[in-house]
Every structure is written in C-alpha cells, then in structure tokens.
C-alpha cells in the first residue's frame, strides 16, 4: 500500500514549513498504530491540521508604487511607458508591499514582471533574485588621495592596476586577497565557485563598468556638513584642500552571476511548489527557509568579495603611483538590503536612508564620463523607500543607439566631441559608442530630479579628468553589430536624407 510522503502532501496543497513537518510526524504515529489507508489518513490529517491553504497567486491589480521621475522628451515618455508596464506586472507579486522608480529608470529586458533599471521593490520576508539582477553587488567605490603627478602617468598605472573585458586573469596574473580564504565555500549557492572568485580579483568586466580619475575640492562647508550628520571620522580624514579621487564601478563578475543563476533556479522551484502562476522574474525565496537563509548568506559574501575587489584595484593603483589613501567611501546599487522583516531590492538604485547610527547614508552617483560624479547624503524619503538613482540611465538601447550612428564619420565626430579635454581610454582598444555621454539621459535633468524629489543632498562633485572602460572587445554580446534587413537599410538611408534636407532648409 502506498505510503504518503512529503511530496504527496505538497501536491495536495500543503505548504512546506513547520506545519508540514508536524503532519509528517503525525503520519508516522498513525502508521505505528496500524492506520495505513491513504484516504483515511488524509481525512485524519484534515481533521487535525485543517484543509490546505490555497496557493498564493498574482494579485488582480498591481499595488501602487511611487515615481520620482519626470519625462520631458518623446524618447523619455516612451521609455517611461515601458518602465511602468514592467512595474505594473511585478507589483502584482503577492510577497511585495511596495515599490518606486528613480529618475534614471529604464526597461530591463522583455521578460514579464522584470524589475526595470532604476527600480525598487520591497518584499515581506522574501528575496527575489531577479530583482537584484545577475550583477549582484554592482557598486561604486572611491579613494581620495593627494597627488601632484602627471595625469597620463596615473592613467597608465590605472590601466595596469585593473583588468577589463570578457574572461578573467591568467593564473600567473592572479591577485591574492584574504576574502578568498573565508570559510564560505560549502554554502550551496557558493559551492565550487572559489576558483572563479580567485581568477577575477582586480577585474572589472565590461559594459558600463569603469575606472574614473577625478578631482574634488574639500571645502569648510562640506566638512562641517559631514561633522553635523555624524560622519566626523570622514571629515577628520579629509582636511581642507584639493584631492584626486579614483572611483571604480563594477559588480561581482562570474561569482555573482553563478550565485544569481542558482538563486533564481531555487526561487523558481520554490514558487512552483508554493504558489501558482508566478513569472520567473517574480519568483522568490522565503527568507526564513533553509534556501532563503543560505542565499542571504551567499549574498553577504558576494558583497564582501566585491568590496575586496574594488580595494584590490585601488591598492594596486596607489602602490604604482606611490600614493596614500586619505579616505574611502562606497555603496552598492544592485542588491537586497534587510530592514527588520522587510527586504529592499534595488536594481540600479542607491540606498539613501539612515544607517544603524542614525547617519544619512553616503552615496556616489555617476552621470557619464564627462560629468562630475555626485557625492551625496541620503535624504531618507519614505515615499520613495529611501532610495536615490544610481546614475543617468538610458532612453535608447545599445542596439538602437548604434543603429543611429552607423557611419564611421559620425562615430568619430561624436567620440571627439563627447570626450574633449578628457583622457579617455578603452582597455580592449576599440571605443564603445554606447558608453559615450550622449548615450545616457541628460545629466542636468537627472540631477534636477534628484533635488526636486528630495532623494539626496549633493555635498560635493568629483570632476572628471580621465576614464578607463572596457570598450568594444568583439567578444561580448554588447559588442555585436546588428545585421540589418534590406528594409531597415532603406529606412536608415531615408532618415539620413531627411536630416540632410532639414539641415539644408534651415541653412536656406
């Protein structure tokens, strides 16, 4: 006669957890008393534990969510329409209690219920892997140092201190770090990933990741504000004067991508058992489940690894130029943060709340390689779940942007105009058009909206002097040129002719 198992109870609608474990114990007790009929056993279980609870499913309509963004152009309005559609889909998820979008919001892929870039969602006792993306812990890190040396020499040193592009460092070029020796590798989400983590220390990858050299003037009013808001230690480390600043932007590389892949697979499996009709991008892990606790621990390690990766690059750079770090600050913007039993998910969103000591959170918000990086204090605005943007965001995809500038002449012109006066370098040799300043939203508009929605207070600007990015390696999906159909080619030619005609009309 068939023995009722845990999977049978789950299939009948009972959810995993303490209640299910008690039911299994009761079944064992019944069997010792000679009760073996499955129908009778289920009847006894229902009498003692009640009927199965209906599986949660998507809400009929989305929860309300906040918008800290204002669309001013046609492209921005089209962009915002797509962002709203994604938020409406995601905010039907039963474990979510709210959300918001920042001034840099832009769509992220086409999968149903995907959190857009510049998006925030808050979950009750649950972690949604897709809501922090595969680039777990993507973050900013800045080191302030005194320097009188030549900028070009420092850019040379920076190029040797880091690595960019696809792949990883060769074994003879590996960089050791104590973070690799932490006893974490038995965690099911980290198991077998130690060598991947080792091979990518001091490695930034590609895309929008960068190493930026800038300058900042520390003024009396800035130091006073730091003192006033509880950051006296930082104020003391930065006497009044002029500083150079190295700012790096990257995430957790292959380590984080694999942790995310495992976490999402576990979440999809979890909701398939516990819920119904949930899109993969909205799948969650219960935070107090075994998988949820292990995934949370894995996320914390990935965060530590990423911070160590930043520091390794900065350490190597300072050693090469003979510089001494005066202060350092940093923040993540792709992550999950726990506050009580609430889990705040940001995909391209900078925490702007008060920390455990009641101090406004410090953050770094880059806009593009030709604009100052904003050093901010969080405004802890409850309506927007106390977040700020992580950058300027895009209105056009990489593909659409490259399609607009196909001619080599136009590319060369826009490259020269966008980077005038800056030492901009491409690690892989070839410029990436989709990372030039014009590829992003207007920096002035984004800053105005940070202030208008009271998301953060700017305490200083780190002015650009040089920037290193991966560029076009020819190996990444980001580098692939789209193959055009004859119809698309005719459309491009038609638009070019119209632009020329309009220009001639204006000149006439």
**Binding site for GMP, residues?**
208-215, 333-334, 366-369, 390-393
Among the listed residues 443, 444, 426, the one whose alpha carbon sits nearest the alpha carbon of residue 435: 426
DSSP letter, residue 493: H
Q: Is 390 a catalytic residue?
A: yes
Token pair for residue 27? 């079944």
Alpha-carbon span 250 to 248, nearest angstrom? 7
Q: Active-site residue among 160, 250, 390, 494? A: 390
Spell out the alpha helix ranges (H) of 145-289: 151-161, 194-199, 220-228, 232-237, 253-274
Alpha-carbon span 191 to 505, nearest angstrom? 65
Binding residues for Mn(2+): 209, 249, 333
Alpha-carbon span 416 to 436, nearest angstrom? 10
Residues 320 and 157: beta-carbon distance below 8 Å: yes
- Where is 313: in which H helix or E strand? helix 290-321
Binding residues: 208-215, 249, 333-334, 366-369, 390-393
Q: How many residues belong to the chain? A: 508
- Looking only at the bridges linking them, the beta strands covering 334-339 and 325-332 are unpaired
DSSP SS3 for 211: strand
- Looking only at the bridges linking them, the beta strands covering 117-124 and 373-378 are unpaired
Rounded-to-10 torsion of CA 83, 88, 90, 92 = 170
Q: Catalytic positions, please?
A: 390
């Amino acid at each position: 006669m068939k023995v009722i198992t845990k999977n049978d109870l789950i299939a009948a609608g009972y959810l995993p957890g303490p209640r299910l474990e008690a039911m299994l114990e009761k079944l064992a007790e019944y069997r010792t008393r000679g009760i073996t009929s499955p129908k009778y056993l289920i009847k006894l279980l229902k009498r003692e534990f009640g009927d199965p609870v209906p599986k949660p499913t998507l809400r009929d309509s989305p929860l309300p969510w906040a918008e800290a963004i204002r669309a001013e152009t046609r492209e921005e309005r089209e962009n915002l329409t797509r962002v709203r559609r994604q938020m409406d889909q995601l905010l039907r998820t039963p474990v979510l209690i709210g959300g918001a979008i920042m001034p840099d919001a832009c769509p992220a892929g086409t999968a149903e219920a995907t959190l857009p870039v510049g998006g925030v969602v808050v979950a009750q006792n649950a972690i949604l892997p897709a809501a922090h993306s595969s680039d777990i812990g993507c973050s900013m890190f800045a080191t302030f140092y005194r320097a009188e040396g030549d900028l070009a020499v420092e850019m040379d040193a920076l190029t040797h201190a880091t690595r960019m592009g696809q792949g990883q460092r060769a074994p003879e070029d590996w960089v050791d770090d104590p973070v690799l020796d932490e006893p974490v590798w038995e965690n099911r989400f980290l198991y077998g990933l130690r060598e991947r983590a080792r091979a990518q220390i001091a490695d930034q990858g590609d895309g929008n990741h960068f190493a930026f050299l800038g300058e900042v003037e520390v003024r009396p009013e800035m130091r006073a504000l730091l003192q006033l808001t509880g950051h006296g230690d930082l104020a003391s480390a930065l006497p009044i004067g002029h500083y150079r600043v190295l700012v790096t932007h990257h995430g957790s590389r292959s380590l984080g991508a694999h942790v995310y892949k495992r976490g999402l697979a576990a979440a999809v499996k979890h909701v398939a058992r516990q819920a119904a009709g949930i899109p993969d991008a909205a799948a969650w892990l219960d935070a107090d489940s075994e998988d949820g606790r292990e995934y949370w621990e894995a996320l914390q390690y990935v965060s530590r690894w990423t911070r160590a990766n930043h520091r390794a690059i900065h350490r190597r750079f300072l050693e090469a130029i003979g510089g001494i770090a005066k202060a350092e600050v940093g923040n993540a913007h792709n992550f999950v943060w726990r506050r009580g039993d609430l889990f705040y998910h940001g995909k391209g969103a900078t925490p702007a709340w008060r920390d455990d000591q009641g101090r406004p959170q410090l953050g770094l918000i880059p806009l593009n390689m030709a604009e100052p990086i904003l050093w901010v204090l969080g405004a802890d605005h409850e309506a927007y779940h106390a977040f700020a943007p992580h950058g300027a965001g895009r209105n056009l995809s990489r593909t659409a942007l490259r399609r607009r500038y196909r001619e080599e002449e136009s590319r060369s012109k826009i490259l020269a105009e966008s980077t005038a006066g800056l030492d901009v370098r491409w690690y892989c040799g070839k410029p990436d058009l989709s990372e030039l300043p014009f590829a992003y939203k207007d920096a002035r508009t984004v800053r105005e909206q940070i202030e208008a929605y009271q998301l953060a207070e700017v305490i200083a600007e780190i002015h650009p002097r040089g920037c290193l990015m991966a560029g076009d390696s020819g190996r990444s999906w980001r580098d692939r040129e789209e193959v055009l159909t004859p119809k698309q080619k005719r459309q491009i030619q038609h638009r070019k002719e119209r632009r020329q005609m309009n220009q001639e009309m204006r000149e006439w």
